[in-house]
Structure 1
Amino acid sequence: MEIGISAYYGVHNHGAVLQANALKSVLQKMGHEVSFVSFERNYDYVLAGKAKKYQISLGSIPYYIGFLKEKGIGNVLYNVKKLQILK
């Protein structure tokens, strides 16, 4: 049977990536053809201020500057490195 997994796995979050791949692996061991169904993330229900962090543009610059001030450069570099590893 062909199975399409609809999960938001394209994030730099270890849990999301591991869970999606584990589900795919288990279903394949059961003899199914498994693939991920890609989709665009929807920001309709996210507050306007928070949505800017997901939409990279000039409007997101103040959000990232605030994040940098709050979390520090070490946290930002850690997240960039984690994103590169998980890709």
Structure 2
Amino acid sequence: MKPTWVKIFEYASSPLHGTMSRKLRKGVHLQINEGKVYSQAVLFLGEKFVRLTENNVDAAVNTYYDFERIDSVRTISKESLQGPPKVKEGR
């Protein structure tokens, strides 16, 4: 499943210039294994893990997930909250 998870993480984020990390796209939230919803996290995709870094007022908090123990990944955005885009009928 790792290749699938990597594609989902790449969809939900964009590269940070000059680093190997990726920042969540504006308006996109990420949830792993039905846990915490991340809104402003920076991702690092390692060979065997993904690290999410959040900057709080007092410190940077790093959370690590083993790729082999990820069961579900959810992306949340305004578009997904509103349902699928409406298809316009022919003119």
Query: Which has the larger share of strand?
Result: 2
Q: TM-score range by the shorter chain?
A: under 0.3
TM-score for the superposition, normalised by structure 2: 0.23
TM-score for the superposition, normalised by structure 1: 0.24
Question: Larger Cα Rg: Structure 1 or Structure 2?
Answer: 1
Say which structure, 1 or 2, has more relative contact order (CA 8 Å, 6+ apart). 1
Query: Which has the larger share of helix?
Result: 1
